[in-house]
Amino acid sequence: MPEVTPMMRQYFSIKERNTDCILFFRLGDFYEMFGDDALTASKELDLTLTSRDRRAEDPDEKIPMCGVPYHSAEGYIGRLIAKGYKIAICEQLEDPATAKGLVDRDIVRIVTPGTLIESSMLDEGKSNYLCALYVGALDNAACFADLSTGEISVSYFSGADVGHLLNEVAAFSPAEAVLNAGAYENGELHHLLSDKLGCLWQQDDGRFDPAQSLSRIAGQFGVTSADEAGIGGSPAAVCAVGALLSYMADTQKTDLSHLSNLRINSGGKFMELDIQTLRSLELVSSSRTLEKKGSLLWVLDKTKTPMGRRLLRSWVLRPLVSTVEVGRRLAAVEELFSETVLRSELMLTLRNVGDMERLIGKIVYGTAGGRDLKALQYSIVQLPKILALLAPMKSGLMAELKKIDDLQDIGALIAKTIEDDPPFSVREGGFIRQGVSEEVDYLRGLLKDSTGAMAAIETKERERTGKKLKVGYNKVFGYYIEIPRALSDNVPGDYIRKQTLSNCERFITQELKELETTLLTAKDRVAALEYEIFADLRERIASEVGRIQATSYSVASFDALCSLAETAAKNNYCMPEVDMSGVIDIRDGRHPVVEKMQTESLFVPNDTFMDMDGARTLIITGPNMAGKSTYMRQTALIVLMAQMGSFVPARSARIGVVDRVFTRIGASDDLSAGKSTFMVEMTEVAEILKSATSRSLLILDEIGRGTSTYDGMAVARAVLEYCTDRRKLGAKALFSTHYHELTAIEKETGGVKNYSISAKKRGGDIIFLRKIVPGGADDSYGIEVAGLAGIPDSVIKRAKAVLAALESDRKPASAPSKKPEPGDGQMTLLDLGGSEIAETLKKTDLNTLTPLEALNLLFELKKKI
């Protein structure tokens, strides 16, 4: 290997300690990358690749090299993080201008997907979680933290089963995970983190040491024991929290004091939802586009602040199970719902509030700039207005949230110190207000009027010496006092002769030299002083992190509650009655998302009644496309909305709290795991039957359709009976099926009711009425639906012949022997059910139509379609 310079030896030494990261090595105004890091970065960022020693003749002696400007590095880092890389930031720890020899450098931060705090790299409406997962023989736990906001929580579960842990991870959807050996060896966790969540994860078993974990918890949260922290009963929780704190300390290398309040998620506070339910009910993203539009969150989100948006998202993902807590939230929404003018004014005010949670996170981290502090100040300015608007609110939750610190002392401190429009960088000065520092004001005065300072010295020296003199400047000698040769005798003793000219003498004094030094260094000195003042201000605000976080949470709550009230008012929702009755009684319920997406026609509302006695299970039959899945999903969504404290899309609703909602809707092959559609379906059903309780709500769509008819029907009936039987499960279930034979269970088993989605035939067409009615369906209308889908008419005719043969218990007629007529295999308007339209067009002479007649004809054809 060729001999390397001291700087490159320093680089290789630091890189050796961070082999899993791309090293951004600070050299002057650039972050440079070398070797394999340079090759990777140049490829991923489309950077020009050069070499460290271009003069070397041997290619092996040339070290690949590329770099990015330090002031624009954030964008490049964000792109690498998005591709799954980790970045180690290596900074110069001393000023190169004053350093003796090699500049001291070291890692100041490791940036990973789960430790981002930069707004440009984060989705403002979604929390960015880092998690630590511990799976042990007796219990398991997950600790989650969002470094950008200071949120940290832990969930723990007893027993060796990781089902609850999987659901918790699915709900939080972390960007990065640290695993102990037990978690790393669990195949289900692997599949969830890698294939379903796309999460960066690694095993780091050494961080989960119980004794070290307990020590870290004590230091971080100021407690003396795990019991005091609230996790004394779970060794797994202690290890998970300790491991996460260890990972954050090692990667961030800075103050983590904003992670001060450990929240305990366990204890049945929230409804547990599995990933299948989250996706099939499309709670926060559409299953088709993976975007927010088309989801329940999209319908409900009218928030005005980023922190309110994140809080509302967490409410959607974590519905409540306590009727008291649900009632408190509903009462707050009702108050805001009733006060239309107040709600509108509050939302206008909230629009001016910034992301206080992430701003204080950046302040504690020490990465906040002047503009960030001003954004916090402008947000604080809105707090008295918000509190004044909320003064009439009397509900328990609103009264509690109103007891917030208005932070006016912090806002005043920022306003007094920072200019209204500070520059982007805090290293170049120009943002500290006049009057904050006497020295800064004096130096600014010198920089602004250096001529005046020289004139003052000139006047002073003339009075002192009584001689005609002047103060001048040149680049060689700097500032000097010039006296004519004839008057140059008997000058004061502190005058130092600097230059003799033919007609004058030039002198300097200590005062003039000091002023010269001050003037020449004033700009840099002002910038340094301003940064010191700013850093001190930032530190003072960081010390108030607890106050700011508490106020931020209240403002986010006001925003989320306002959003629910605004949605209810605009969409004609009603306030549900939530109790422990076990009854689900919904009158004129509507699907909240389909209703908003369906803009060309009115949504047909339907009733739902379920209880723990005579109507535990509803069997839903009817043709495909008639709305069975929509009806079942809308029931589940209304239940979830009610338990998150939202009004619901119905004329009235009474919701008996359910502990879990399970869905089995649709399935596909899991080829990577070697599972067929039916295997995937049965695996999901097995998990539901294992995890559900008598207080759960099950949404089961066409169980058994992935195998032969009789096998499928047998499985479907067995599952249906198991769900209904109180001795086995006895849960409330909505069960859709095309096996009409299953409707006979209503007469054979208690607690089962048959319903169907009504449809009518008109000639060869089918009309979906979208209305659910008591009783089973009399027909599946499968052939008619196939016709609507555009299946060629010849195929439809053959299908009808086969169906007639099957229904009359005869052997299906053999295929017709005649040759197919021309066009039999082609799609036509006739195939699409448009025979009447086709006939009208055939009879119309387009050459004789007036424009008005053409428009009328088009209107009539549209009506027929």
Annotated binding site: 622-629
Distance of CA 639 to the CA centre of its chain: 24
Which amino acid is it at 542? A
The Cα–Cα gap between 124 and 122 comes to 6
The Cα–Cα gap between 704 and 719 comes to 10
Pairing of β 64-69 and β 30-34: antiparallel
Extract the tokens encoding 454: 């020289």
Helix or strand (DSSP H, E) at 184: helix 181-184
Distance of CA 359 to the CA centre of its chain: 16
Contacts of residue 456, defined as CB under 8 A and 6 or more positions apart, other chains included, come to none
Binding-site residues from annotation for ATP: 622-629
Give the single-character DSSP code of 72.
G
Q: Is the CA virtual torsion 52, 54, 56, 62 positive or negative?
A: positive
Contacts of residue 540, defined as CB under 8 A and 6 or more positions apart, other chains included, come to 413
Contact 95, 58 (CB under 8 A): no
Which amino acid is it at 621? T
Contact 32, 88 (CB under 8 A): no
Contact 251, 285 (CB under 8 A): no
Contacts of residue 788, defined as CB under 8 A and 6 or more positions apart, other chains included, come to 625, 766, 832, 833
Contact 172, 131 (CB under 8 A): yes
Q: Tokens 């301003």 map to which residue?
A: 530
The candidate with the shortest Cα–Cα distance to 644, out of 570, 556, 576, 553, is: 576
DSSP annotation string for 361-403 = HHHHHT---HHHHHHHHHHHHHHHHHHHHHTT--SHHHHHHT-
Contact 623, 768 (CB under 8 A): yes
Extract the tokens encoding 47: 């950077």
Extract the tokens encoding 182: 């037990």
The Cα–Cα gap between 379 and 411 comes to 9
C-beta pairs of 25-29 under 8 Å, 24+ apart in sequence:
25/90, 25/105, 26/70, 26/89, 26/90, 26/91, 26/92, 26/105, 27/67, 28/96, 29/69, 29/70, 29/71
DSSP annotation string for 42-61 = HHHHTPPPEES-TT-SSGGG
